[in-house]
Structure 1
Amino acid sequence: MATAFRVLLLLLTFSDSFVSTLGHGIGINYGQIANNLPSPPHVVYLLKSLNMSRVKLYDANPNVLTAFANSNVEFIIGLGNEYLEKMTDPLPAQTWIQQHVQPYISQTKISCITVGNEILTGNDTQLMSNLLPAMQTIYASLANLGLSKEVYVTTAHSIGILGNSFPPSAGAFRQDLLEYIQRILDFHSQTGSPFLINAYPFFAYKDNPGQVSLEYVLFEPNPGMKDPGTNLKYDNMLYAQIDAVYMAIKAFGHTDIRVQVSETGWPSKGDPNEVGASADNARLYNTNLLNRIQQNQGTPAKPSVPVDIYVFALFNEDLKPGPSSERNYGLYYPNGTLVYDIGTALSSQGYLPLPLPHMDYSASKKNVSKYLILHELVCCLFSASFSFSSLA
């Protein structure tokens, strides 16, 4: 056991050599709707073993931001839907920035704030009306504090904001949302912030398994589909959805707004009526997606713009409401073991997926900190004795 642990530490040390090539294009959603997740310092350890340097949170958890200080991990943090009305007032907005961003940003890189999640596809018209004013007020507060060049402001949309998504050249936003989207797009253009979408080809397959090809949604070999409007060929649904969003944005006269996939993934388990939810399909979807992203290729309509995605999610979350699939999107179980074998795909891209050491999660923060310090010390000792080239 001691020898295995020393090897694990050695691998972690050498994995740092890959950081510069793996950060761009791939991030992970770190959801926390669960009662059995490891502590943030343990998650630091896990993400270091993965060389994952981009993380998206759904809040601004101070314990997480503190744990990741000086880790070189870049964060998207979130303002929950419940805060939107309050955030339209400049005073609470600036107070929020002073409490949740300023104390951490010098040591933990915060690059973006998402104001709300999937607001426009809900049924709360008051939330819809508050969305843009809240985004504008948060941005103004950042500007007042000298942070607007450092931190973007945006919001995350469901792919359901599209009224038409295929063929991609006919991509268009829902008619009933145009009054909101026009001004949001103007905001993105003015501030240079990305347009975020949560896109899950799984849902399209689950709803129409007889009409949607499983190979097409899983990035597996398939005949593909040709867009009659552009003659561009699509061999997977996710890239078609991204281009449909670009086309919908272009219809409003904007060609300067980049689209980022803030959530995508596949559940490893589901209810009997959730067709396609399985560990095999989840493995294929995420493996093939990672391989595509690492090739730095763009979509057919944007071949020179690498696709930028955040995988959903890091852990299975046992308290999420809804069907079984909602609790089974994680790459990892809370104990740090892989839900399915995606290890080959991760390691082939330079990632080294390793389980968390067996530790008592109820241990004091002091003990966790002592463990992490020891881990770093051992890594430094190994680094002083070896070089990556010696492994070749």
Structure 2
Amino acid sequence: MAMRLLALFSALVLLLTLSGSVVRVLSLGVGINYGQIANNLPSPSRVAFLLRSLNISRVKLYDADPNVLSAFSNSNIDFVIGLGNEYLLNMTDPIKAQNWIEQYVQPYLPQTKITCVTVGNEVLSGNDTRLMSYLLPAMQTVNSALVNLGLSKQVYVTTAHSLAILAYSFPPSSGAFREDLAEYIQPLLNFHSQINSPFLINAYPYFAYKDNPDQVPLNYVLFEPNPGTTDPNTNLNYDNMLYAQIDAVYSAIKAMGHTDIQVKISETGWPSKGDPNEVGATPENAGLYNGNLLRRIEEMQGTPAKPSVPVDIYVFALFNEDLKPGPASERNYGLYYPDGTPVYNVGLQGFLPQMDFSAAKINTRNSDLSTLSLLVCFIAFLICA
């Protein structure tokens, strides 16, 4: 028993020593997408504990799940919540928009830090022109509801786009939106400028490599050492595709008359597994992509065209999701398996407890109590192991 207690004490000392440095990259502001298209995920209260142990401070949802928002009460984690495309028509109605805010946002504030509502996802890269026509009015109406309720200073409105809205992405300085989308994008950019909200892009260099592995250098898309490529118009060198894509979006926005809108990456990631025709979907490549990306975020890097603006990114995704439709890769973007074990090693060390914890037990407003609760659970884990 004495030897076991000594081992436990040593483990505690080690944990205390590392608690300020483990996964410090995530505490600098990288976000994580928390998707739930699965039938085997841990409860939201357990997930809240896992994210606390990882020092993750920002989470993006695809809905406004009350169970999640309640579980993260007093967690000091910033939340992006989502309105699916199926809500767009209803959200053009001021009464319905305000009712939604009153039901899914207002009751959770300020205990749960909801900071953003995304209205729709990748609407402009689809084929439904009627849905496209609803997008901006829905965003405007949701924003007006937030204004009416006195919440617009703490909760902003935006939407997320696919890179397919670009007609040109290389060289980055020649980035331009598709001409057929100009009638939607121009007023959308004016709205972003008016309310000072960011332009969100879902960017996946993996797709470019998968579709053309003979022409796209793997090291270039994985942030591995490579000579890079130079933009002939600016003479800026790009050693990775993601940063080139971000600057291409900035160029496209500038071409429409705006230099006052920040570009953020609402999704990026790499699958650890895929179908036989999905080239490059391996744990090794996924580990390199996300690990190298996290290190660059830790360094607070900007892109070549915006060196003083650190990239703002939500990694996709927290868990593998076994019910997602489509190719095998769609179900294998997670950093973690649902049981809390890492899919591959990118230096993350988190703890998924075996039992549920109430929101009160993950209150991080008092960091000493939060650390203490984490240590107690860690001791329990060691004793039961």
TM over 0.5: yes
Aligned to 2:352: 356
| 1:241-285 alpha-carbon deviations (Å, 9 max, x no partner) | 000000000001100000000000000000000000000000000
175 and 16 in structure 1: CA distance in 2 versus 1, 3 angstrom threshold: same
Identical aligned pairs, as a percentage? Answer: 70
Aligned to 2:358: 369
Aligned to 1:387: none
Aligned to 1:380: 372
Moved over 2 A (4+): 1-25, 367-384
Aligned to 1:187: 191
Structure 2: segments with no counterpart, 5+ residues: 377-385
In the alignment, residue 120 of structure 2 is paired with which amino acid?
A: G
What is the CA distance between 1:342 and its match in structure 2? 1.5
What is the CA distance between 1:14 and its match in structure 2? 6.4
Give the conservation status (yes or no) of the 8 Å contact 1:158–1:197: yes
Aligned to 2:337: 333
* Cα separation, 2, equivalents of 1:290 and 1:11: 23
Is 1:132 matched up with 2:136? yes
Aligned to 1:171: 175
What is the CA distance between 1:83 and its match in structure 2? 0.3
150 and 11 in structure 1: CA distance in 2 versus 1, 3 angstrom threshold: farther
* Cα separation, 2, equivalents of 1:314 and 1:329: 8
Is 1:49 matched up with 2:53? yes
What is the CA distance between 1:37 and its match in structure 2? 0.3
Give the conservation status (yes or no) of the 8 Å contact 2:237–2:304: yes
298 and 380 in structure 1: CA distance in 2 versus 1, 3 angstrom threshold: same
What is the CA distance between 1:329 and its match in structure 2? 0.1
Report the aligned-residue RMSD.
Answer: 2.6
| 1:224-249 alpha-carbon deviations (Å, 9 max, x no partner) | 00000100000000000000000000
Aligned to 1:390: none
What is the CA distance between 1:371 and its match in structure 2? 11
291 and 182 in structure 1: CA distance in 2 versus 1, 3 angstrom threshold: same
* Cα separation, 2, equivalents of 1:5 and 1:39: 28
SS of match in other structure, 1:205: helix
Is 1:278 matched up with 2:267? no
Aligned to 1:70: 74
Stretch moving more, 19-28 or 295-304: 19-28
87 and 371 in structure 1: CA distance in 2 versus 1, 3 angstrom threshold: closer
* Cα separation, 2, equivalents of 1:48 and 1:317: 21
| 1:17-45 alpha-carbon deviations (Å, 9 max, x no partner) | 46997444410000000000000000011
In the alignment, residue 313 of structure 1 is paired with which amino acid?
A: A
SS of match in other structure, 1:76: strand
259 and 374 in structure 1: CA distance in 2 versus 1, 3 angstrom threshold: closer
In the alignment, residue 224 of structure 1 is paired with which amino acid?
A: G
Give the conservation status (yes or no) of the 8 Å contact 2:35–2:317: yes
In the alignment, residue 250 of structure 1 is paired with which amino acid?
A: K
| 1:274-332 alpha-carbon deviations (Å, 9 max, x no partner) | 00000000000000000011111100000010000000000000000000000000000
In the alignment, residue 251 of structure 1 is paired with which amino acid?
A: A
Aligned to 1:32: 36
Stretch moving more, 240-249 or 3-12: 3-12
SS of match in other structure, 1:322: coil
In the alignment, residue 353 of structure 2 is paired with which amino acid?
A: P
What is the CA distance between 1:378 and its match in structure 2? 8.9
In the alignment, residue 130 of structure 1 is paired with which amino acid?
A: Y
| 1:78-99 alpha-carbon deviations (Å, 9 max, x no partner) | 0011000000000000000000
> For 2:165, which of 151, 161, 172 is the aligned residue?
161
Aligned to 1:58: 62
Aligned to 2:381: none
What is the CA distance between 1:356 and its match in structure 2? 1.7
SS of match in other structure, 1:157: strand
Aligned to 2:382: none
* Cα separation, 2, equivalents of 1:166 and 1:159: 12
Is 1:268 matched up with 2:267? no
Aligned to 1:142: 146
> For 1:110, which of 84, 109, 114 is the aligned residue?
114
In the alignment, residue 202 of structure 2 is paired with which amino acid?
A: N
Aligned to 1:363: none
In the alignment, residue 369 of structure 1 is paired with which amino acid?
A: S
Aligned to 1:389: none
* Cα separation, 2, equivalents of 1:378 and 1:148: 30
Give the conservation status (yes or no) of the 8 Å contact 1:12–1:49: no
**Matched residue pairs, number?**
369
In the alignment, residue 329 of structure 1 is paired with which amino acid?
A: Y
What is the CA distance between 1:341 and its match in structure 2? 1.4
Is 1:231 matched up with 2:249? no
Is 1:245 matched up with 2:249? yes
Give the conservation status (yes or no) of the 8 Å contact 1:77–1:114: yes
What is the CA distance between 1:161 and its match in structure 2? 0.7
